[in-house]
Amino acid sequence: MARSGSPVRLVVALSVAAALAVFLLYVSVAGGTPSIQPSQLKGRSGEVALVGKVTGRPSGDPHTAQGYRFRLRDVEGSTSVPVVYRGSVPDLFKVGREVRVEGRLRSGVFVAKRDTLRTKCPSKYTPAKRA
């Protein structure tokens, strides 16, 4: 049997789909957390994504109240900031690796949100430079 449906259902479904598409476009273009490096952190308020290279010797435990402590420095610079992080640490995390972590600056220390630490792809996955 053929069922004749009401065009109202179709209009409602298409309206919902259009609203979701507009929302996704807005979030991808204007939304999200701004990514900055340690040298751009001074004077910033609110939450940001900090991007940089891990320096120094990481210490602490990411699963305790004291957290995991390390320093991030600009990818191509010398400015660095101490970071306190709590949560899971990626397997590829190590000194010299580029990472991204979300959080905010508090009293000169970047306090990261739980489970926001991400490592950038290591250079071994990019083609070697020819001499």
**Sequence ranges of the domains in the chain:** 35-125
Q: If pLDDT is split at 50, 70 and 90, which confidence band does 95 have?
A: very high
Nearest CA-CA partner of 85 in 56, 107, 118? 118
107: phi then psi, degrees, rounded to nearest 5: 55, 45
Report pLDDT for 65. Answer: 92
Distances, alpha carbon 20 to alpha carbons 5, 25, 29, 33, 107, in Å: 24, 9, 14, 20, 40
- Has this prediction a pTM greater than 0.85? no
CATH, range 35-125: 2.40.50.140
